[in-house]
Amino acid sequence: MQNKVVVHVIGSKILKGTTADFSPNKVVFHLHERELGVHLEIRISHLKAVYFVKTFEGRPEYNEKTDVERIGCGKKIRINFKDGETQIGYTQGYTPDRPGFVVFPADPESNNERIFVVTASTSNIEFL
């Protein structure tokens, strides 16, 4: 299955494309970058996060809600990234000693379906 992803590389570079072999337990995955049409090998350790998206365009004018209660998505969490971004969502798999974990956005209307957060790219994580 091809997943639409927006890959945030440490240092603010953003790549958009599809992947069929992403796994939270692997150190690399492959991205078919959509603008240049090239296949890239992506190292998880070089990333801030991988956003699994509904559309590549998103909805920049939409303000995500953070006060939505989502049943079945795990514990509510706030993630502060080293670059200053904050993400609020739900997770079932955060453990500080793992390289990363999956977060479901608090707002089900978000363009993000789920986010793989690279633990090393965070400055603070707290359960709400």
Edge-to-edge, what's the strand order for the sheet holding 75-81? 39-43, 28-33, 13-19, 3-9, 47-53, 112-118, 100-105, 86-91, 75-81, 122-127
Q: What is the model's pLDDT at position 111?
A: 97
Dihedral angle, C-alpha 105, 66, 93, 9, nearest 10 °:
60
| Count of the separate structural domains present in the chain | 1
Instruction: Measure the CA–CA gap between 9 and 7, rounded to whole angstroms.
Output: 6
Q: What is the model's pLDDT at position 45?
A: 96
Tens of each residue's pLDDT in the chain, 128 residues? 799 999 999 987 999 999 999 999 999 999 999 998 999 999 999 999 999 999 999 998 999 999 989 989 999 999 999 999 999 999 998 999 999 999 999 999 999 999 999 999 999 999 99
Domain hosting residue 14, numbered range? 3-57+65-127
Instruction: Measure the CA–CA gap between 13 and 88, rounded to whole angstroms.
Output: 22
